[in-house]
Amino acid sequence: MAKTIQIRLAESSCKAGLGYARKHLSAGPPKDAVICCEGMCLKGETARRAANLIAHDLVPGKAVRICHGGLLEETGGMRELVRRAGRVLILDGCGMACGTRLTEGAFPDLEPQVVFANQLYECDQDIFGVDEMPDSQINANAAKVAQQVVEKYF
């Protein structure tokens, strides 16, 4: 079994993502880039909601949300937002650090700040599905993560 994988960057880009990136690239000084592992499980979903809260609600003037899929495009603008960022903050849902490993693959020299979101709220670590916890509790956990991250980094 291979221990590494290579990924070809897409020559095309997501039109909506490109528009979003251009808007942020032309809007004032660079913001901190917020990347998330985007996992589909409860831990990844909690991290994803927390990342969105940070960039869209809590400190939108200081942080910009990055689509990690956009890191796999040649010209989609997400890579430019990361290059331009004063700091790159990665919210991984758990210690598997998928978002961090993908980002390191895209930017080997980058030194991101990494947060393991599942260490910032109380949760049964064996629960996997987003359908195994009330939506309101997932939101409350995400808000707890986002608040702690903002207090520490912004």
Chain contacts with ligand SF4 (rule: CB under 6 A):
37, 39, 41, 43-44, 92-94, 96-98
Complex with ligand SF4: residue 36 or 55, whichever CB lies closer? 36
Question: What count of other Cβ atoms lies within 10 Å of the Cβ of residue 129?
Answer: 10
| Joined tokens for residue 25 | 């690239």
**Closest CB 5 distance from ligand SF4, rounded Å:** 15
The DSSP result for 62-99, as a single string, is TEEE--GGGGGBSSSSHHHHHHH-S-EEEEESSTT-HH
Least distance between ligand SF4 and beta carbon 55 (Å): 17
* Contacts (Cβ under 8 Å, ≥6 apart) of 15: none
Nearer CB in complex with ligand SF4: 32/38: 38
- Of the two residues 11 and 124, which places its CB atom closer to ligand SF4 in the complex? 124
Type of residue found at 10: A
Q: Where are the beta strands (DSSP E) in 8-153?
A: 32-36, 63-65, 88-92, 113-116
Burial label, 15 (beta-carbon count in 10 A; 0-12, 13-18, 19+): exposed
Nearer to ligand SF4, 123 or 150 (CB): 123
Closest contact distance (angstroms) between CB of 3 and ligand SF4 is: 17
User: Which residue, 24 or 120, is less far from ligand SF4 as judged by CB?
Assistant: 120
Q: How far is the CB of 27 from ligand SF4 (least distance, A)?
A: 29
